[in-house]
Amino acid sequence: MPKHIYNFEKGNIKPLKDKFLNPVGAGPYLFKDYKAGQEIVFEKNPNYWRGEPKIAKIIMKVTNATTVIQELTTGSVDIDRVPSKPEQIDLVKKAEFLDIYRYPSNSYGYIGWNLRDEKFKDKKVRQALVYGLNRAGFIQAYYKGLGDVCNAPVSKVSWAYTDDVNKYEYNPEKANQLLDEAGWVKKEDGYRYKDGKKFTVHWMTYTGSKYVEALTPILIENWKQIGVEVIPELMEFSTLAQKVYDEQKFEMYNMAWSLSIDPDPSGIFSIEQDKLGGFNSVGWRNEESEKLIKEGLRETNMEKRKEIYHKWVKLANEELPYIFLSYANDTYAVSAKVKGLRLSPFTDWTYDIHKVELQEVK
């Protein structure tokens, strides 16, 4: 990134943010136009160092779970991710000019809680809330066989993944036991109280998501059964991100992480990231985690690194900085006229975009 354009004084990133809508870089495409909530237009960079792109213009349109299938099947969009749900995939298949790519995602969905909040500081409480949530029921209801329960902040496609962790299978009795031990007493109204305060969780989430729509009634009802009240607060995703990362003003929220090829978790879970604007928005500060993260970064032997990350995964599974919620398949629909596209858990559609061509389908 050119310093003469993006330079800013430490502690004042507003000038930098103001320049984000006029980006400068050396990639295969040049920024041309932006319409908020609608689209971004790019034109090819004839001087791109890996070779001049074959497609003259790319338009990235804003779609959502409601519009994506219509956009694809009418030909308004040539490539997009679609929900990994049988009924959605069947709709795509009916458009015979669309190809389907499906593979395990290098990502996971989660619920984050603010560990600075007194009610989430006790590990027993966090474990109780996971035991008290029927994650498998939610996964089956939403993905219908095309997703799995997540128990660790590592994707199943990663070499650092291990299945040797607590599965936290749905167990309301265990959840109630742990909440009792943590001093949260269930009263006549069915809800739990401690030091005169009702166990109420304000859950910030985002609009326009079928995932959220499916999760909401399950989460509310499951936790009500163990004496915890959940109050959803819906907002635009951009507003949610600001509250979570820039302000850290939340009790609980849900999002998903797309991960890198290397499993190093420092960018998300290190203590250094526990700051305004940092990715450790939940405020997880664990010295053993820090030790393992640093060991993993120093180690160059693959098998030894794997052992280190297995220990870290088990620690995260026990300490639960998040509710690890779901693994999904990535499912993309791609027009048959798009040629030369590479997709995998570790490469998105932009990776070799300069090689991709558009050809008329006969």
Check residue 245 and give its pLDDT.
97
Q: Output the tens digit of pLDDT for each of the chain's 362 residues.
A: 788 888 888 888 888 888 877 788 889 999 999 998 899 999 999 999 999 999 999 999 999 878 899 999 999 999 999 988 888 899 999 998 999 999 999 999 999 999 999 999 999 999 999 999 999 999 999 999 889 999 999 999 999 999 999 999 999 999 999 999 999 999 999 999 999 999 999 999 999 888 999 999 999 999 999 999 999 999 999 999 999 999 999 999 999 999 998 999 999 999 999 999 999 999 999 999 999 999 999 999 999 999 999 999 999 999 999 999 999 999 999 999 999 999 999 888 999 999 999 998 76
CA angle 272, 275, 276 (to 5 degrees): 150
Check residue 273 and give its pLDDT.
97
- Those residues whose C-beta lies under 8 Å from the C-beta of residue 243, and which sit 6 or more positions away, are 204, 235, 249, 250, 253
Check residue 118 and give its pLDDT.
96
Do 256 and 215 touch, CB atoms closer than 8 A? Answer: no
User: Percent helix, strand and coil across the chain, each rounded to 5?
Assistant: 35, 25, 40
pTM over 0.85: no
Dist. CA 155–CA 159, nearest whole Å: 9
The distance in angstroms from the start CA to the end CA of the chain is: 43
Q: Which of 275, 322, 313 is nearest to 114 (CA)?
A: 322
DSSP conformational letter for 247: I
Sign, Cα dihedral of 35, 36, 39, 42? positive
- Those residues whose C-beta lies under 8 Å from the C-beta of residue 114, and which sit 6 or more positions away, are 120, 248, 250, 251, 252, 281, 282, 283
Check residue 139 and give its pLDDT.
95
Q: Which of 196, 198, 195 is nearest to 229 (CA)?
A: 198
Q: Tokens 């849900």 map to which residue?
A: 254
Q: Which of 24, 22, 25 is nearest to 33 (CA)?
A: 22
Domains and CATH numbers, the chain: 3-103+331-358 (3.40.190.10), 107-328 (3.10.105.10)
- Reported as a single tens digit per residue, the pLDDT across 66-83 is 889 999 999 999 999 998
Check residue 10 and give its pLDDT.
86
Q: What is the DSSP string of 261-328?
A: SS---HHHHSGGG-STTSS-TT----HHHHHHHHHHHH---HHHHHHHHHHHHHHHHHH-SEEEEEEE
Check residue 20 and give its pLDDT.
79
Do 160 and 332 touch, CB atoms closer than 8 A? Answer: no
